[in-house]
Amino acid sequence: MSDFPVQFLFDFGSPNAYLSHKVLPGIEQRCGVSIDYVPVLLGGLFKMTGNRSPAESLAGIKNKPEYQNREMQRFIKRHQLDAYRFNPHFPVNTLQIMRGAVAAKRLGVFEKYVDVVFAAMWEQGLKMDDPAVVQSALTSAGLDAAALMAMSQDAEVKAELAANTQSAFDKGAFGSPSFLVGDELYFGKDKLRDVEEEIIRQRGTR
Amino acid sequence: MSDFPVQFLFDFGSPNAYLSHKVLPGIEQRCGVSIDYVPVLLGGLFKMTGNRSPAESLAGIKNKPEYQNREMQRFIKRHQLDAYRFNPHFPVNTLQIMRGAVAAKRLGVFEKYVDVVFAAMWEQGLKMDDPAVVQSALTSAGLDAAALMAMSQDAEVKAELAANTQSAFDKGAFGSPSFLVGDELYFGKDKLRDVEEEIIRQRGTR
């Protein structure tokens, strides 16, 4: 654990958050830090900022969506993330599974929950805004789906997700994935090299 | 000169093209390649693709413009580009000075013209869509302003700029700065590290 916070502000609905998630362990290992995963609601951030998903903002623009896809393929190839598949149900409403992430922290199964839900979204292509699908995915992975889904309805859990989202906004975030190294904000999977350099820089100043 | 094309597709109107221009000599030196500067008309690319400048597309969105500015400051600091100043006349119509770039190639003064006009735009903050200002900037730098401005009205020069822009569109470009390493397109100053790696990779395969 480093003595300055390194945070990954994520929403399962973002394919680039999934791709980042797969690359973060290497950064933790190389830098000797533990990265704190903070669930935030991307839909909430979009409402607060007026920002929109690339799927919306790039609609009708020529060449730019193709380029973004090319960049995604480059990232996948560079990091050998061949399990990635675009979710056929995109966009998936992530309110329940993001509340579930906060619940999983309280139930002590956060790391496993995050792995399972990211894989369900971006490897298996499941419709993770359907409660039956969520229950089945969690149960198959050996998680206590009933406990997680009950806890995710807890008022404190709901409030914590909303507070995380507000805090992300206050720190300058407008989308997912975002990263904080101390107070330095970075947006997008393409900034992971900068994140890594900034971790090393901040560590060197202590 | 490398045996595969490395191109910088630029429009003087883009501050990120200026910042890239200042960083490209280092890449040329480290990689042992010569990068071919290709004048394109950004307004033309925007019309062809439906893309818009960040100034337009980010208007009214909270946090994102501030983040883009933060990223620009990081780039400036990393590469020590302290001479940069935002142009107070932005957006500047660049049709004349881009045609001038094509004319400068024909007159054998391309490198100097590019340096002078980028500096006029993004160091001195001049209103470079005013012919009198352009003439004065070119003359002060020892360039033959009358010859450049006359040649820039030549039908072949006009056609060449249009053809460059069409070719950029055909290769997938949608904005400035764009880079081509062989057929691989990269967009934005943040991709210059990828451009450098791709030059080294393509060189290694020959």
Of all residues in chain A, what percent carry a pLDDT higher than 70? Answer: 98
In angstroms, the CA B30 to CA B171 distance is 26
Mean pLDDT of A14-21: 98
Considering only CB atoms, B62 lies closest to which of A64, A174, A191, namely: A174
Contacts of B48 in chain A (CB under 8 A): 62
Instruction: Say if B61 is an interface residue toward chain A (CB within 8 Å).
Output: yes
Sheet holding A6-10, edge to edge: A36-39, A6-10, A178-181, A184-187
Instruction: Say if A63 is an interface residue toward chain B (CB within 8 Å).
Output: yes
Per-residue CA distances from A17 to A33, A122, A193, B90 (Å): 19, 10, 15, 35
Question: Domain A6-204 classified CATH 3.30.2320.20?
Answer: no
Q: Give residue for tokens 């980010």.
A: B58
Confidence class for position A177, pLDDT limits 50, 70, 90: very high
Given a cut of 90, whether residue B54 has pLDDT beyond it is no
Q: How far is A63 from chain B (nearest CA, A)?
A: 5
Considering only CB atoms, B61 lies closest to which of A51, A60, A194, namely: A51
At residue B1, the pLDDT reads: 44
Q: Give residue for tokens 């069409």.
A: B166
Of all residues in chain A, what percent carry a pLDDT higher than 90? Answer: 92
Confidence class for position A206, pLDDT limits 50, 70, 90: low
State the helix-helix crossing angle for A110-122 and A95-106, rounded to 10 degrees: 160
pTM attached to this predicted model = 0.94
Q: How far is B203 from chain A (nearest CA, A)?
A: 18
With an 8 Å Cβ cutoff, are A174 and B49 in contact? Answer: no
Contacts of B187 in chain A (CB under 8 A): 67
The size of the A-B interface in CB pairs under 8 A is: 63
Instruction: Say if B44 is an interface residue toward chain A (CB within 8 Å).
Output: no
Per the structure block, which two tokens stand in for A66? Answer: 């193709």
What would the pLDDT profile of B58-98 be if each residue is shown by its tens digit? 889 999 999 999 999 999 999 999 999 999 999 999 999 99
With an 8 Å Cβ cutoff, are B174 and A63 in contact? Answer: yes
3-state SS assignment for residue B133: helix
At residue A66, the pLDDT reads: 96
What's the mean pLDDT when you consider all of chain A? 96
With an 8 Å Cβ cutoff, are A63 and B190 in contact? Answer: no
CB A8 within 8 A of CB A24: yes
Confidence class for position B203, pLDDT limits 50, 70, 90: confident
In angstroms, the CA B126 to CA B135 distance is 11
Given a cut of 90, whether residue A128 has pLDDT beyond it is yes
At residue B204, the pLDDT reads: 81
In angstroms, the CA B65 to CA A176 distance is 16
Instruction: Say if A72 is an interface residue toward chain B (CB within 8 Å).
Output: no
Per the structure block, which two tokens stand in for B66? Answer: 């501030």
With an 8 Å Cβ cutoff, are A64 and B175 in contact? Answer: yes
CB B41 within 8 A of CB B11: yes
Q: How far is A165 from chain B (nearest CA, A)?
A: 14
CB A196 within 8 A of CB A24: no
Instruction: Return the domain boundaries, chain B.
Output: 6-204
Interstrand relation of B178-181 and A36-39 (parallel, antiparallel or unpaired): unpaired
- HSE (CB half, 13 Å, CA atoms) of B56? 8
